Structure 1
Amino acid sequence: MSEFKDWYNNVPFFTRYWLTLTIALSLVGKFGIFSYYNFILDFHSFIYKLQLWRPVTALFYYPITPGTGFHFLINCYFLYNYSERLESGMFAGKPADYFYMLLFNWACCVVIGLLVNLPILMDPMVLSVLYVWCQLNKDVIVSFWFGTRFKAMYLPWVLLAFNMIISGGGAMELLGILIGHLCFFLLFKYPQELGGPALLAPPAFLKQLFPDTRYVGGFGTAPQTRVARPAAATGTFGGHNWGRGHTLGGN
């Protein structure tokens, strides 16, 4: 029990509570303590009945049934694995920045969910975070089922194709990829590659609520700000270093 407590306390803050609330709320719905319908994102109940908790519970709740239990466990694995890597890597020492990224991805999931009648937000939210990590670590070799190995940049698309083949789905993965791509573009590529404003910089009150701490290093490197140099020194084409140097196992 002490080993579990030590492991749990060492999980980064936002990843820890995201995973904990997901498991807890899903089990509450599983055992019928409250009706699962109160947890899902329903347009009529949210807009007309002002049940304002639904966008939050729709993120943390996932129906656990004999047909969905394995998928739930895979989602929890991806949630822990890639959120932990981002929070302790690229966003190490910057909790407000990571929380603001999560808020942005969640808000995108909510808006799309209301527009297309998507009651559960776990799938696209987890895929969006996984996509950001994969873009920051494009050249890292990850492992998938049956011993296949490939670069991390392909992992979201492999998951999309795999789910389409196995269950005929894929829509949730595609939404997660689109949201993750938008987040990555606004957070890194637009301000650092194209010279635009930092649109996803956290507001001051979040920085006060979750102040920066000492950076401790980790996985992935953000795209570097493009600096003009003489053509003779740089050559015709520039290069990128968006994530290198580690070999990590995925699922």
Structure 2
Amino acid sequence: MAQALQQEYMEMPIITKAYTTACVLTTAAVQLEIISPFQLYFNPDLIIKHYQIWRLFTTFLFFGTFGFNFLFNLIFTYRYCRSLEEGSFRGRPADFFYMFLFGGTLMIVIAIFVNQAFLGQAFTIMLVYIWCRRNPYVRMNFFGLLNFQAPYLPWVLLAFSLLLGNSVIVDLMGIAVGHVYFFLEDICPNQPGGMRLLKTPWIIKYIFESPIAENQPPPPEDRPGGFNWG
């Protein structure tokens, strides 16, 4: 079992591995009382007045202490983050990182107005939303109870959060940010006279991509919008 988990971990693409590892280590540090959640949450006043810049990042790394909510979010983060990185972002790690940067920045701006302390769950929903919109023909099954097509999954998760008594603001934030990214990246460029508005900065491409990886397109079934079945 341990060997299988180790092999699975080593085969994870780099950005998915880095993000999920950071989430697990952050939660473990809180569980062991090395750090406190009060040192991690998003607080504009502490960031601006006391220069606690790390809060811009740690707010995305903590799903709560070890338990159902943490495990649920971690599994969804791992699955859909990896599916995106190995699917429609295959060979384009710079674009994938830029999606992280764009989504995280937009969530930070929204969090200022809706008073959200932790944004990890919203980020997970964003990943789920983008994957679902790019794979619209995939059939999903939720705990063996519901069967539906992929684009409905974010809304099913929102309803599940509502049943658990959680605030739906976080889920709605993830859906909204995911839709903004999908609209700008997948819909706008394909409209008459449209253009790609989220062009990845050259410095990010320089850091993340070699010339070979940059020119390697994903297969047709993994491109934005999913496979065209005719």
Q: Distance in 1 between matches of 2:221 and 2:59?
A: 30
The TM-score, its normalising length taken from structure 2, stands at: 0.91
CA-to-partner distance for each residue in 1:39-76, whole Å, 9 max, x for gaps?
A: 111121112111111010111123216xxx20111110
Give the equivalent residue in structure 2 for 1:47.
48
Asked if the contact 2:139–2:149 (Cα under 8 Å) also holds between the matched residues in 1, the reply is yes
Q: CA deviation at 1:215?
A: 4.2
Q: CA deviation at 1:9?
A: 1.4
Asked if the contact 2:88–2:218 (Cα under 8 Å) also holds between the matched residues in 1, the reply is no
Q: CA deviation at 1:166?
A: 2.3
Whether 1:110 aligns to 2:108 is: yes
Q: Distance in 1 between matches of 2:184 and 2:61?
A: 25
Asked if the contact 2:63–2:69 (Cα under 8 Å) also holds between the matched residues in 1, the reply is no
Select 2:137's aligned residue among 139, 158, 161. Answer: 139
Asked if the contact 1:105–1:179 (Cα under 8 Å) also holds between the matched residues in 2, the reply is yes
Q: CA deviation at 1:221?
A: 2.7
Give the equivalent residue in structure 2 for 1:203.
201
Q: CA deviation at 1:27?
A: 1.3
Give the partner amino acid of 1:44. Answer: D
Asked if the contact 2:94–2:204 (Cα under 8 Å) also holds between the matched residues in 1, the reply is yes
Change in 2 beyond 3 A, CA 1:142/1:219: farther
Give the equivalent residue in structure 2 for 1:229.
none
Give the partner amino acid of 2:174. Answer: G
Q: Distance in 2 between matches of 1:155 and 1:9?
A: 28
Give the equivalent residue in structure 2 for 1:125.
123
Aligned residues: 224
- Structure with higher Rg: it is 1
Q: Aligned Cα RMSD in Å?
A: 1.9
Select 2:223's aligned residue among 215, 221, 224. Answer: 221
Of all paired residues, the percent bearing the same amino acid is 32
CA-to-partner distance for each residue in 1:74-101, whole Å, 9 max, x for gaps?
A: 1101101111111000000011011101
Q: CA deviation at 1:197?
A: 2.5
Unaligned stretches of 5+ residues in structure 2: none
Give the equivalent residue in structure 2 for 1:57.
58
Q: CA deviation at 1:219?
A: 5.4
Give the partner amino acid of 2:103. Answer: N
Give the equivalent residue in structure 1 for 2:226.
243
Q: Distance in 2 between matches of 1:75 and 1:101?
A: 19
Change in 2 beyond 3 A, CA 1:19/1:219: farther
Give the partner amino acid of 1:221. Answer: R
Asked if the contact 1:140–1:244 (Cα under 8 Å) also holds between the matched residues in 2, the reply is no
Give the equivalent residue in structure 1 for 2:87.
89
Q: Distance in 2 between matches of 1:49 and 1:190?
A: 40
Q: Distance in 2 between matches of 1:218 and 1:84?
A: 18
Q: CA deviation at 1:120?
A: 0.4
Give the equivalent residue in structure 2 for 1:191.
189
Give the partner amino acid of 1:104. Answer: F
Helix, strand or coil at the partner of 2:148: strand
Change in 2 beyond 3 A, CA 1:219/1:76: farther
The TM-score, its normalising length taken from structure 1, stands at: 0.83
Asked if the contact 1:140–1:245 (Cα under 8 Å) also holds between the matched residues in 2, the reply is no
Change in 2 beyond 3 A, CA 1:204/1:10: same
